[in-house]
Amino acid sequence: MTDLFNPTEDHAALREMIRKFTEREVLPQAIEYDRDEKFNMGLFRKLGELGVLGVTVSEEWGGAGLDAVAATIVHEELSAADPGFCLAFLAHSMLFANNLGLNGSDAQRLKYLPKACSGELIGGMCMSEPNAGTDVLGMATSAKKVEGGYLLNGAKMWITNGAVDDETLGDVFLVYARQEGDERHALSMFIVEKGDPGFSLGQRIKEKLGMRASGTAELVFEDCFVPDDRLVGERGQATLHMMRNLELERVTLAAMSLGMARKCVEVMNDYATDRAAFGKRLRDFGQIQAMIADSYADYMAGRSYVYTVADRLSLDSHGNRLDSDGVKLYCGRMAKQVADRAIQVLGGYGYVGEYHVERLWRDARLIEIGGGTNEAHQKNMTRDLARQRQLK
């Protein structure tokens, strides 16, 4: 019988490799980098040595050439230790490398992807703006055609990997912008490099509730010149690029919720087994049993949903928005609730950083906002169900 969570031997081997790496390298540094709001660049580049920074990128361009299930595995395992670090990985591997691998020209892939897959370049994607988050088509960043290229003007907000420290930009970004005269739904996508004239770091965003080990920033474009060969695909066709990538992004964000929930279940189960009160182990009390058992059931329900969707997700097409939204909607709420129960089981120890669940509770909250809010998913899913009218 096929294992839903490890469909092939390669998937099982990948999970074992990433889990061992996570336990050895990622978990020990998580509290420090969260507390100091630092991005661990050295650890990030070790993922390049493992060959997973381009997990879905073709081997021709330096990637591992694996599928959506493999991407799901990596995100689940990394997030069981450090979701903030995993978010930086997601922005690089899914939003930049996978996106460019699917939509870029061969010349663009050759120039950027081998270095992105090795970790020599740190990439990201720029979509949200100070006044346009969920309303992506309301973005105001403009691209004006000039001789030899384009001038970009505007600002992007909440950009993961936008800054690798307080003063340093990430290396390369895919930037969505609107060209003059194009319809509202017609967006174009450009490659912008650190050092391009007119491209600068606006502000490094600090004191986030969670995900503090990833660098979040505002990026500013002031007559930023981008040459013609950095337009990705055709003018006005980037909305399609966006749709292709959003489905995978949402599945991997849901996988991050799985990792957080799994770690919380493990912590509360261990604590309730080892800790005694009133002459009995905590796990012998009905209230504690309910929190642990409900959390495990919720985690496994979400896990089954996520891996089912990942298994049928095609990387080079779109059309599965109903369930890519659905897994993120369900799992984002689920992970937050499981982390909340874990804090309750541990009591005072759950409220401090030593047992990790306090940090995971803070990190879990982002999944209900980033990559699409719960409300946006509900809107999308209701529309898709109305079109479908009959469940298969």
What CATH number is associated with residue 212? 2.40.110.10
Q: What does the alpha-carbon distance between residue 356 and residue 83 come to, in Å, rounded to a whole number?
A: 11
| Mean local confidence (pLDDT), 346-359 | 95
Whether residue 247 lies in the annotated active site: no
Same domain, 243 and 314: yes
Q: Is 2 domain-assigned?
A: no
Domain boundary among 184, 210, 232: 232
CATH of the domain at 53: 1.10.540.10
Q: Is the pLDDT of residue 190 over 70?
A: yes
Report the pLDDT value the prediction gives residue 11, as an integer from 0 to 100. Answer: 97
User: Over the chain, what is the mean pLDDT?
Assistant: 94
Q: What percent of the chain has pLDDT over 70?
A: 99
Q: Is the pLDDT of residue 347 over 90?
A: yes
What is the total count of domains within the chain?
3
Q: Is the pLDDT of residue 88 over 70?
A: yes
Which domain does 192 fall in, by range?
Answer: 124-232
Q: What does the alpha-carbon distance between residue 12 and residue 133 come to, in Å, rounded to a whole number?
A: 37
Q: Is 56 domain-assigned?
A: yes
Catalytic residue among 218, 247, 249, 368: 249
Mean pLDDT: which of 106-120, 138-152, 161-175 is highest? 106-120
Q: Is 4 domain-assigned?
A: no
| Mean local confidence (pLDDT), 260-281 | 96
Report the pLDDT value the prediction gives residue 388, as an integer from 0 to 100. Answer: 86
Same domain, 245 and 384: yes
Domain boundary among 173, 206, 232: 232
Same domain, 297 and 359: yes
Q: Is the pLDDT of residue 182 over 80?
A: no
Q: Is 1 domain-assigned?
A: no
Convert the pLDDT of each residue in 312-335 to its tens digit: 998 887 778 999 999 999 999 999
Report the pLDDT value the prediction gives residue 272, as an integer from 0 to 100. Answer: 97
Q: Is 168 domain-assigned?
A: yes
Q: Is the pLDDT of residue 77 over 70?
A: yes
Convert the pLDDT of each residue in 3-53 to its tens digit: 999 999 999 999 999 999 999 999 999 999 999 999 999 999 999 999 999
Same domain, 195 and 247: no
Same domain, 242 and 384: yes
Q: Is the pLDDT of residue 184 over 70?
A: no
Indicate whether this model's pTM tops 0.85: yes
Q: What does the alpha-carbon distance between residue 364 and residue 371 come to, in Å, rounded to a whole number?
A: 13
Same domain, 246 and 375: yes
SS3 389: coil
Q: Is the pLDDT of residue 390 over 80?
A: no
Same domain, 228 and 245: no
pLDDT class for 242, splitting at 50, 70, 90? Answer: confident
Same domain, 188 and 58: no
pLDDT class for 214, splitting at 50, 70, 90? Answer: very high
Q: Is the pLDDT of residue 183 over 80?
A: no
Q: What does the alpha-carbon distance between residue 123 and residue 368 come to, in Å, rounded to a whole number?
A: 23
Q: What does the alpha-carbon distance between residue 267 and residue 263 come to, in Å, rounded to a whole number?
A: 6
pLDDT class for 392, splitting at 50, 70, 90? Answer: low
Q: Which helix (H) or strand (E) holds 42?
A: helix 41-50
Q: Is 171 domain-assigned?
A: yes
Same domain, 26 and 115: yes
Report the pLDDT value the prediction gives residue 268, as an integer from 0 to 100. Answer: 97
Same domain, 353 and 263: yes
Compute how many other C-beta atoms are within 10 angstroms of the C-beta atom of residue 114: 17
Same domain, 32 and 71: yes
Q: What does the alpha-carbon distance between residue 102 and residue 91 come to, in Å, rounded to a whole number?
A: 15
Q: Is the pLDDT of residue 133 over 90?
A: no
Q: What does the alpha-carbon distance between residue 194 and residue 200 come to, in Å, rounded to a whole number?
A: 8
Convert the pLDDT of each residue in 143-166 to its tens digit: 999 999 999 999 999 999 999 988
Backbone angles phi, psi at 213, to 5 degrees: -85, 5
Q: Is the pLDDT of residue 245 over 90?
A: no
Q: What does the alpha-carbon distance between residue 258 and residue 81 come to, in Å, rounded to a whole number?
A: 11
Same domain, 320 and 181: no
Q: Is 296 domain-assigned?
A: yes
Q: What percent of the chain has pLDDT over 90?
A: 86
Domain boundary among 91, 122, 153: 122
Dihedral sign computed on CA atoms, order 333, 338, 344, 350? negative
CATH of the domain at 252: 1.20.140.10
Q: Is 3 domain-assigned?
A: no
